[in-house]
Structure 1
């Protein structure tokens, strides 16, 4: 177990070794089939029509699939509900290396501060099928379990988009108020980490997420930057759809 811990912590070095971290704040989504996680089977999802343009970022978009297509003019797309909800729910699908997700993040943070306490917010990260970014997803889940995601999430984005270096991942957890032993134990809990990865993948697969960032309201209304009309309008649409009828309240699994 001690050797495993050393290997995990060594792999979670976040020193940024990319020279180009400029970001083009275009109205676009990064289209990519959700990554296949441990013990989960990938599915062939229909590609959504999203408007995308090239941009520079620390990973230069290699591995991302972009499509250029006009949307129907609707601000959201209604999808098949596959989950029950006991309260209003907003799910954020995103990738830390995605420049469009980074641009949207300030709007996510602002909305979270203003939202009603009755609304449940669920961030679902993906590595977009690129193993070099899996450590960001793992760290996200660990931070969420330790209740310090609000402190850790901006730092993970900063590594890829602001040239921030993190030499010891445990340090940012201790700075957030987590005991080093607790953070270390959370990274050692491989079974829980694996289940977190599988759960995230299955949610993306079930709702055919082919582009990030995307927001799913009450497991029924799908929103992206293009359909909403811009980054600053995404959460206006989120709030509008929160007022619409929610089938998830009466959904029963077959």
Structure 2
């Protein structure tokens, strides 16, 4: 019984600690304010951007926490994923993501790409290999290759590069709220805490409108 009571006390203290942490976020600790705010993609909505890489294990581990949160976002919040393009495999996987996003595939295709890389050991290092894999997920191979090499995708690649520079990112995953505030899992204290920081910064921006 004593152990049960002690466990309950510790659990309560842990929850209180998380709540207190979420209630006292400070600039320079849990997040940083960008020196030059970046315009959002949909004016009038509060934007949350995640910069990521399919090959990043932390990004993969963040997905099960992030995706349910995204699904419950209110109508005045616009969530955007942007691939980080640091060269090499980062750029190739970024082009893969942008191609699939341009084709408006379902989330399960992105989930399958993450699993292929992190659980099945696939490299997905070139367009032919990518096309063959996404075909197993119901994506038309020829349409994929055509879109992959399109001017629209190349234009979005250039935009993604410029955004990463404007956000001043050095790693992933990282979140940006409304083009003003940058933070990551490490600075926030964990995946769940990162989303608590996001919630509070969303509320801050909503109150300022």
TM-score tier by shorter-chain length is 0.7 to 0.9
TM-aligned CA deviation for residue 73 of structure 1: 6.7
What corresponds to 1:83 in structure 2? 39
Q: Which sections of structure 1, spanning at least 5 residues, go unmatched?
A: 1-70, 250-254
Q: CA RMSD in A?
A: 2.7
Is contact 1:97-1:157 (8 Å) kept? yes
TM-aligned CA deviation for residue 225 of structure 1: 0.8
Q: What TM-score, normalized to structure 1?
A: 0.61
Q: d(CA) in 2 for partners of 1:116 and 1:175?
A: 33
Q: How many residues align?
A: 177
Structure having the larger proportion of residues in helix: 2
What corresponds to 1:101 in structure 2? 59
Per-residue deviation, residues 195-222 of structure 1 (Å, max 9, x unmatched): 1211101001012111211100011111
TM-aligned CA deviation for residue 234 of structure 1: 1.0
Q: d(CA) in 2 for partners of 1:78 and 1:180?
A: 42
Q: Secondary structure at the match of 1:121?
A: strand
Q: What TM-score, normalized to structure 2?
A: 0.73
Q: Secondary structure at the match of 2:205?
A: coil
Is contact 1:91-1:216 (8 Å) kept? yes
Q: Kindly tell me: are residues 168 and 83 of structure 1, through their superposed partners in 2, closer, same or farther at Cα, counting changes over 3 Å?
A: same
Q: Which sections of structure 2, spanning at least 5 residues, go unmatched?
A: 1-25
Whichever of the two has the greater Rg, that structure is 2
Q: d(CA) in 1 for partners of 2:137 and 2:207?
A: 38
Matching residue within 143, 146, 165 for 1:182: 143
Q: Secondary structure at the match of 1:81?
A: coil
Q: Secondary structure at the match of 1:232?
A: helix
Q: Kindly tell me: are residues 209 and 245 of structure 1, through their superposed partners in 2, closer, same or farther at Cα, counting changes over 3 Å?
A: same
Q: d(CA) in 1 for partners of 2:207 and 2:163?
A: 17
